[in-house]
Amino acid sequence: AQSVTQPDIHITVSEGASLELRCNYSYGATPYLFWYVQSPGQGLQLLLKYFSGDTLVQGIKGFEAEFKRSQSSFNLRKPSVHWSDAAEYFCAVAPNRDDKIIFGKGTRLHILP
């Protein structure tokens, strides 16, 4: 069955430390890939997306993600986190251009001062 897996439910990092949030998918072809962030009381905001081309994608707020076909992964990274990055992060996948977008269960990021 098609699925998106975010293996970490919660992650805690210190402010200024680097961050990597994991995302794996189970589709055969190269899907359309997204990362969204949801802050408390707010809607989902797109951080970045990958449709094709360069496998390292730059997004907003200093985030980047790398598509690795061999590992079926699309991990989100940030070199130095800020307290304002505390939020829930969702990886999302669309198997092809005409298909629905499927979200992972999310990873909640906590920032230590």
Partner 1 sequence: DAGVTQSPTHLIKTRGQHVTLRCSPISGHKSVSWYQQVLGQGPQFIFQYYEKEERGRGNFPDRFSARQFPNYSSELNVNALLLGDSALYLCASSMAVVDTQYFGPGTRLTVL
- Residue 22 sits in the site that holds partner 1 (CB under 8 A): no
- How far is Cα 25 from Cα 10, in angstroms, rounded to an integer? 19
- State in angstroms the smallest separation of the CB of 9 from partner 1: 9
- How far is Cα 54 from Cα 4, in angstroms, rounded to an integer? 22
DSSP, res 99: S
- State in angstroms the smallest separation of the CB of 103 from partner 1: 4
- Residue 32 sits in the site that holds partner 1 (CB under 8 A): yes
- State in angstroms the smallest separation of the CB of 96 from partner 1: 8
C-beta of 16 vs 110, nearer to partner 1:
110
Q: What is the 3-state secondary structure (H, E, C) of 21-63?
A: ECCEECCCCCCEEEEEEECCCCCEEEEEEECCCCCEEECHHHC
The single residue listed with the structure tokens 């094709």 is 52
- Residue 97 sits in the site that holds partner 1 (CB under 8 A): yes
Of residues 39 through 58, those in contact with partner 1 by CB under 8 A are: 42-46, 49
- Residue 94 sits in the site that holds partner 1 (CB under 8 A): yes
SS3 state of residue 106: coil
- Residue 110 sits in the site that holds partner 1 (CB under 8 A): no
